[in-house]
Copies of this chain bind each other. A is one copy, B any other.
Amino acid sequence: MGTLPRPFAARRGDSCVTHGGRAGAVKESTRLTSPLGLRYNKPDVPDLNYPLELLWDLFAQDSPSGDEGQAADWLAARLARDVPDAHLTRLGDSLIAARGDRPRVAVLAHLDTTGWTLGYDKRLLRIGGPDGKPGDGIRPVGRPDTGNTLARRKDGAWRVRGKTDAPPGSCWVYSARPAQNGGEIDAPYLDNRAGVWAAVQVLLHCPSVAVAFTSGEETRGVGALACARLLSETHGITQALICDLTWHTRWVKCGRGPAVSLRDSSVPRQSYLVRVLAQAETSGLPFQREIESDGGSDGAALDRSGFGIDWAFVGAPENDPHTARERVDIGDLQGMAALLVRLVDGLSEGQE
């Protein structure tokens, strides 16, 4: 792992329509207390240069869907320390951190990842949609890597290769270690460690916002459903931004800034999307317009909640999602956090 860049240090001048090669590695920069020029009117808000180390800390918290409890505990403790004015509410294994008297925008970042449940006869049952390959290293949640790998049974089912004393029913995750290669991070579960990292930036930078760290997104969105209730009933939230990673494709490429999704398998409410896109343009920050027919996010769960919360998806693209080697551009992550901060502030203005 090399030297970690400071957040928000670069990419401001990038054009969202550039179609050139990948951006170069982000350079070490001087420490900025207010890199986005935001208003910090709360003296107890800590220094904002929350470094990428948080991302490495997050990688150390295993949290396949259904088993996010320990990660939520860890994150709650970290936020209590670093964002002392945030009001924290735990909902199952989801966590809502709210700042300001009356936040007008919610940001949702899911805390869970894909994984496997160990079944009978060393079978592995999928949790969400992991896209592992035979030979990928795996280990039980909360345990060190002891050399187990993914393998296929003759009947096509996945199984564990190698000895293990983990009991049937235990949850398993990729054991690959995160690494930084130049301006790129290469790790399992960037989806959605990187989104959680970005959402913490938003919490630090925005004096008025409700950030929901949700559970169960990779399965059926149970966390976002529960959070929607609290966001609506307690905070009166009607505007949300989904802070999650998306796919590197022919059209949306790593290194060109975060994507704002115009649709996936869900079609968000157009009048809200138009406002979000207008704020994104106003920000001057680089972003890409994504149009997909597949895929989904906690936005779909907000729709299913019936609380009438509008949403738009904002996230950096990554290569090889749900594999042991997801790869994301650090500049895209920084741009994603910066864009979300601008959107939260812009969407809050003029809202009662």
Contacts and interface: CB of A to CB of B under 8 A. Distances in A.
A147 B119 CA distance: 44
Interface stretch (A18-26, A130-138, A172-180, A263-271): A263-271
Interface string A248-276: 00110000000000110011111100000
Interface in A267-311: 267-271, 289, 291-293, 300, 303-308, 310
A79 interface: no
A263 B170 CA distance: 11
Contacts of A267: 65-67, 117, 127, 219
A266 B304 contact: no
A222 interface: yes
A226 interface: yes
Q: How many copies, total?
A: 3
B266 A126 contact: no
A246 to B, nearest CB: 14
A117 B289 CA distance: 13
Contact of A306 (B117, B289, B305): B305
A228 B304 CA distance: 12
Contacts of A292: 125
A260 B184 CA distance: 44
A220 B299 CA distance: 12
Nearest to A73: B271
Contact of A66 (B92, B125, B268): B268
A284 to B, nearest CB: 20
Residue in A67, A228, A251, A271 with the greatest tally of chain B CB atoms within 10 Å: A271
A93 B310 CA distance: 10
A225 interface: yes
A169 B274 CA distance: 11
Nearest to A121: B251
A232 to B, nearest CB: 9
Given A120-B251, A169-B289, A225-B306, 10 more contacts: A66-B267, A69-B269, A120-B250, A168-B289, A168-B291, A171-B270, A219-B266, A222-B306, A226-B306, A229-B306
18 contacts: A66-B263, A66-B270, A69-B270, A92-B269, A120-B250, A125-B292, A126-B293, A168-B262, A168-B289, A169-B262, A169-B263, A169-B289, A219-B266, A220-B266, A225-B305, A226-B308, A228-B306, A305-B306
